[in-house]
Chains A and B, each alone.
Chain A
Amino acid sequence: MLSGGDILIRSLQEEDVDYVFGYPGGAVLHIYDALFRQDKMKHVLVRHEQAATHMADGYARSTGRPGVVLVTSGPGATNAVTGIATAYMDSIPMVVISGQVQSHLIGTDSFQETDMIGISRPIVKHSFLVKKAEDIPMTIKKAFYIATTGRPGPVVVDIPKDITNPTDLVEYSYPAEVAIRSYSPASKGHSGQIKKAISMLLSAERPMIYAGGGVIQGNGSELLATLSRKLGFPVTNTLMGLGAFPATDPQFLGMLGMHGTYEANMAMHHCDLILAIGARFDDRVTNTVSKFCPHAKIIHIDIDPATISKNVEVDVPIVGPVVNVLSEMNELLDVSWVDRSSDQEKLLAEWWSQIEGWRKQDCLKVERDDGDTDIKPQEAVQAVYRVTNGTSYVTTDVGQHQMFAALYYPFDEPRKWINSGGLGTMGFGLPAAMGVQMAFPDEVVTCITGEGSIQMNIQELSTCSQYGLPVKIINLNNRSLGMVKQWQDMQYEGRHSHSYMDSLPDFVALVESYGHVGFKIDRLDELEDVLAEVYSEKLKDKLVFVDIQTDPEVHVYPMHVAPNGAMRDMWLKKGVRT
């Protein structure tokens, strides 16, 4: 016989949860007491519940295992909402346990009461309100099952305080299996569709492989590499998909979309076949949908049938797990190779030579006028790449620095690039990096951020002190909300409405007050040396904050021309477009 609080903790242990990210409060006191009386799981006390969700998120993205969050009712729950929405938009497995007021008080506007199930409804894969302690084990089993299978996503479990009361004891047993009659995610792609796709691939003249975050989430990166190399097709990744295919591979054309590379966007526009894998044709990729890739037939592999033909009509949909579908494609490709159209090799060579022409544009070249000694944000990212040998985990916040990191830090492995692609959540980077560092204490974890974003969860520097998290924070400080300012420069005649950040703190002094190490870099010639010290053995165990003063006039390019532009319509630098 156990109390509801103990049952919850035991159930989480059954799910092999090693970290719970949370913040205590009235409605979860019984649960926190049960947590205190065990030592299998570690609890990480954040300074704001939003950070708890982002930490769990960073943990989930880097490990592939669900992140677990524990928050109290009312403000605890509402503070978690941004992080839940972030996870939902990027399909990240997460289980959020929120305390609720006592059952008899629900609906009476009692202290710290909020309808968490209602508030979170549009941003969860599913949610549960637990009615009695006996239901906790099955609910937790279902929550983890739903969060981690099919298209992953966050699940909220709302538990009224009386259900966890230490004096009410009930029988406990944890279910070995779970079956939900109304939920059966696709386990296998349709073989007929896969055959059809293979025959299209083997007769394509100007093909493109467009792979997104689903390849990483579905652990399909190696299979994608095998398929791509076998076919010899060019590959592009979405913002969420970076690392799904090795970025330093010659077949890789870079990221596509609004801030995609010239070659990736041009190749997409001119291709005759798109093999889309775990990507969702979102508006930051397609530019104007009606002008999207006018010559292309589309094969779309995705675990979620609702993603198929949502934004762009596809010709051959394949609904299934990426591992299953890509394995089947790789096997089929070996036996079907004989059916390859006789001139495909020659046509592919022509296609590649056209692509090499686009590559010569060198769209990521960093521009610098004579006598200009400002540090360009791109150079800062490139320096971080060199100093870390391209092997660091990198999280970002949202804005210009995010795009510079995506474009100038090539990722060769999946799960190393961690950013809020769908929701675009400022304040994500630091707590996400902390979650990664928790999961991989011996790895180098870098948070590339800006002075705007970092201040949205800067309180977590305190959590880093408490748990000794040696995250390296690269603050690209341009004294302005760079991406907002860029749009104001381009679309509002340079009227910088509220995009300046004045009264910035002395970041070095600030981080030192938490016991961390701070550096300020304002000269280009010190950049590399200081970064080498930041990542040196000496500072391996320290959180280091590097405040890099960068040129505030720099824009992110390439950039899609909008509105009404196609994939090929891009600004290549200030005032220069395709």
Chain B
Amino acid sequence: MRRIISVLLENEAGALSRVVGLFAQRSYNIESLTVAPTDDATLSRLTLTTLASDKQVEQITKQLNKLIEVVKLVDLTDGEHIERELMLIKLKATGAQRAEIKRTADIFRGQIVDVTNATYTIQLTGTTEKLDAFLRSMADATVMEVVRSGVSGLSRGEKILAL
């Protein structure tokens, strides 16, 4: 099952490599990974998605917690949560296709953020499924380049992950 694990990590050199190394070492899987400093500059927030059974995810969270630089973590998929991913997609857009691509992007609430006479670059935010669906809807277009940020997220309601 797909899990989203969100980790507060000491913002120190080498901390990220311990997290990534742990996954490699114990043959856990990482589907996506995103990390950046938080409003507290001493902390980074790392979000990763993994495909794991309940038993595996229990081990993953325990082993992550053992890393000295991991301050706190939460499995967002344990409860209600909000998840978002950012995608930038560059496509060939010429002739009649230009209007068609624009219409579809509007439907998905994407924004065209860069235009040339032959290409569009579209920015799209949403869940992983939504981004996948947009890519499927562009099957007839010539996709030149796709970049995705990986999933970020937090819990709904008053539950927070903080010191």
Most chain A CB neighbours (cut-off 10 Å) among B58, B72, B163: B58
Q: Which residues of B contact A309 (CB under 8 A)?
A: 55, 58
> Does the CB pair A180–B63 fall under 8 Å?
no
> Does the CB pair B59–A310 fall under 8 Å?
yes
> Does the CB pair A180–B68 fall under 8 Å?
yes
> Does the CB pair A122–B63 fall under 8 Å?
no
Q: Is A20 interfacial (CB-CB < 8 Å)?
A: no
> Does the CB pair A129–B62 fall under 8 Å?
no
Q: Which residues of A contact B63 (CB under 8 A)?
A: 306
> Does the CB pair B59–A182 fall under 8 Å?
no
Please measure, in the bound complex, the distance between the C-alpha atom of A162 and the C-alpha atom of B107, giving whole angstroms: 60
> Does the CB pair B21–A117 fall under 8 Å?
no
Q: Which residues of A contact B68 (CB under 8 A)?
A: 125-126, 146, 180, 182-183
Nearest Cβ in chain A — how far from B47, in angstroms? 18
> Does the CB pair B18–A182 fall under 8 Å?
no
Q: Is A305 interfacial (CB-CB < 8 Å)?
A: yes
Contact A118/B17 with A181-B163, A182-B69, A182-B70 known, Cβ cut-off 8 Å: yes
For window 65-83 of B, CB contacts with A under 8 Å fall at: 65-66, 68-72
With CB as the reference atom, state the residue of chain A lying closest to B71: A182
Interface residue tally of chain B, by bracket?
Answer: 20 to 34
Q: Is A121 interfacial (CB-CB < 8 Å)?
A: yes
Q: Which residues of B contact A126 (CB under 8 A)?
A: 68
Q: Is A379 interfacial (CB-CB < 8 Å)?
A: no
Please measure, in the bound complex, the distance between the C-alpha atom of A309 and the C-alpha atom of B53, giving whole angstroms: 14
Please measure, in the bound complex, the distance between the C-alpha atom of A310 and the C-alpha atom of B61, giving whole angstroms: 12
Q: Is B14 interfacial (CB-CB < 8 Å)?
A: yes
For window 106-142 of A, CB contacts with B under 8 Å fall at: 117-118, 121-122, 125-127, 129
Contact A306/B10 with A146-B68, A180-B68 known, Cβ cut-off 8 Å: no
For window 168-195 of A, CB contacts with B under 8 Å fall at: 180-183
Q: Which residues of A contact B58 (CB under 8 A)?
A: 309
Q: Is A541 interfacial (CB-CB < 8 Å)?
A: no
Q: Is B27 interfacial (CB-CB < 8 Å)?
A: no
Q: Is B13 interfacial (CB-CB < 8 Å)?
A: yes
Q: Which residues of B contact A146 (CB under 8 A)?
A: 68
For window 48-66 of B, CB contacts with A under 8 Å fall at: 55, 58-59, 62-63, 65-66
Please measure, in the bound complex, the distance between the C-alpha atom of A222 and the C-alpha atom of B59, giving whole angstroms: 32
Nearest Cβ in chain A — how far from B18, in angstroms? 6
Q: Is A304 interfacial (CB-CB < 8 Å)?
A: yes
Q: Which residues of A contact B116 (CB under 8 A)?
A: none
With CB as the reference atom, state the residue of chain B lying closest to A127: B14
For window 298-342 of A, CB contacts with B under 8 Å fall at: 304-306, 308-310
Secondary structure call for the B interface: helix
Q: Which residues of A contact B13 (CB under 8 A)?
A: 129
Please measure, in the bound complex, the distance between the C-alpha atom of A308 and the C-alpha atom of B63, giving whole angstroms: 11
Please measure, in the bound complex, the distance between the C-alpha atom of A304 and the C-alpha atom of B62, giving whole angstroms: 9
With CB as the reference atom, state the residue of chain B lying closest to A153: B66
Please measure, in the bound complex, the distance between the C-alpha atom of A255 and the C-alpha atom of B96, giving whole angstroms: 79
Q: Is B117 interfacial (CB-CB < 8 Å)?
A: no
Please measure, in the bound complex, the distance between the C-alpha atom of A117 and the C-alpha atom of B55, giving whole angstroms: 30
> Does the CB pair A121–B21 fall under 8 Å?
yes
The count of residues in chain A whose C-beta lies closer than 8 Å to any C-beta of chain B is 19
Please measure, in the bound complex, the distance between the C-alpha atom of A121 and the C-alpha atom of B17, giving whole angstroms: 9
Nearest Cβ in chain A — how far from B42, in angstroms? 9
Would you give the 0/1 interface string for A259-301, flagging 1 where the beta carbon is closer than 8 Å to chain B?
0000000000000000000000000000000000000000000
> Does the CB pair B62–A305 fall under 8 Å?
yes
For window 4-26 of B, CB contacts with A under 8 Å fall at: 10, 13-14, 17-18, 21, 25
Complex partner residue of A306 from B25, B55, B62, B163, CB under 8 angstroms: B62
Q: Which residues of B contact A122 (CB under 8 A)?
A: 21, 25
Please measure, in the bound complex, the distance between the C-alpha atom of A256 and the C-alpha atom of B65, giving whole angstroms: 31
> Does the CB pair B10–A182 fall under 8 Å?
yes
With CB as the reference atom, state the residue of chain B lying closest to A308: B62
Please measure, in the bound complex, the distance between the C-alpha atom of A127 and the C-alpha atom of B68, giving whole angstroms: 9
Nearest Cβ in chain B — how far from A572, in angstroms? 35
Q: Which residues of A contact B66 (CB under 8 A)?
A: 304, 306
Please measure, in the bound complex, the distance between the C-alpha atom of A32 and the C-alpha atom of B65, giving whole angstroms: 37
Please measure, in the bound complex, the distance between the C-alpha atom of A118 and the C-alpha atom of B24, giving whole angstroms: 13
Q: Which residues of A contact B18 (CB under 8 A)?
A: 121
Q: Which residues of B contact A127 (CB under 8 A)?
A: 14
Nearest Cβ in chain B — how far from A41, in angstroms? 26
Please measure, in the bound complex, the distance between the C-alpha atom of A129 and the C-alpha atom of B13, giving whole angstroms: 9
Q: Which residues of A contact B59 (CB under 8 A)?
A: 306, 310
Q: Which residues of A contact B21 (CB under 8 A)?
A: 121-122
Most chain A CB neighbours (cut-off 10 Å) among B17, B18, B70: B18
Q: Which residues of A contact B72 (CB under 8 A)?
A: 182
Would you give the 0/1 interface string for B144-163, flagging 1 where the beta carbon is closer than 8 Å to chain A?
00000000000000000001
Nearest Cβ in chain A — how far from B61, in angstroms? 9
Please measure, in the bound complex, the distance between the C-alpha atom of A127 and the C-alpha atom of B71, giving whole angstroms: 16
With CB as the reference atom, state the residue of chain B lying closest to A307: B62
Most chain A CB neighbours (cut-off 10 Å) among B25, B65, B68, B72: B68
With CB as the reference atom, state the residue of chain A lying closest to B25: A122
Please measure, in the bound complex, the distance between the C-alpha atom of A304 and the C-alpha atom of B14, giving whole angstroms: 23
Nearest Cβ in chain B — how far from A268, in angstroms? 23
With CB as the reference atom, state the residue of chain A lying closest to B15: A182
Q: Which residues of A contact B69 (CB under 8 A)?
A: 182
Please measure, in the bound complex, the distance between the C-alpha atom of A121 and the C-alpha atom of B22, giving whole angstroms: 9
With CB as the reference atom, state the residue of chain A lying closest to B55: A309
Would you give the 0/1 interface string for A416-454, flagging 1 where the beta carbon is closer than 8 Å to chain B?
000000000000000000000000000000000000000
With CB as the reference atom, state the residue of chain A lying closest to B8: A182
Please measure, in the bound complex, the distance between the C-alpha atom of A129 and the C-alpha atom of B59, giving whole angstroms: 28
Please measure, in the bound complex, the distance between the C-alpha atom of A125 and the C-alpha atom of B68, giving whole angstroms: 8
Q: Which residues of B contact A304 (CB under 8 A)?
A: 66
Q: Which residues of B contact A182 (CB under 8 A)?
A: 10, 68-72
Please measure, in the bound complex, the distance between the C-alpha atom of A125 and the C-alpha atom of B66, giving whole angstroms: 9
With CB as the reference atom, state the residue of chain A lying closest to B13: A129
> Does the CB pair A181–B71 fall under 8 Å?
yes
Q: Can you report 28 A-B residue pairs in the complex whose CB atoms are below 8 A from each other?
A: A117-B14, A118-B17, A121-B17, A121-B21, A122-B21, A122-B25, A126-B68, A127-B14, A129-B14, A146-B68, A180-B68, A181-B71, A181-B163, A182-B10, A182-B68, A182-B69, A182-B70, A182-B71, A182-B72, A183-B68, A304-B66, A305-B65, A306-B59, A306-B66, A308-B62, A309-B55, A309-B58, A310-B59
Other contacts beyond A121-B17, A182-B72, A183-B68: 19, CB < 8 A: A117-B14, A118-B17, A121-B18, A121-B21, A126-B68, A146-B68, A180-B68, A181-B163, A182-B10, A182-B68, A182-B71, A304-B66, A305-B62, A305-B65, A306-B59, A306-B66, A309-B55, A309-B58, A310-B59
8 closest Cβ contacts across the A-B interface?
A306-B62, A182-B71, A126-B68, A122-B25, A183-B68, A121-B21, A306-B63, A305-B62
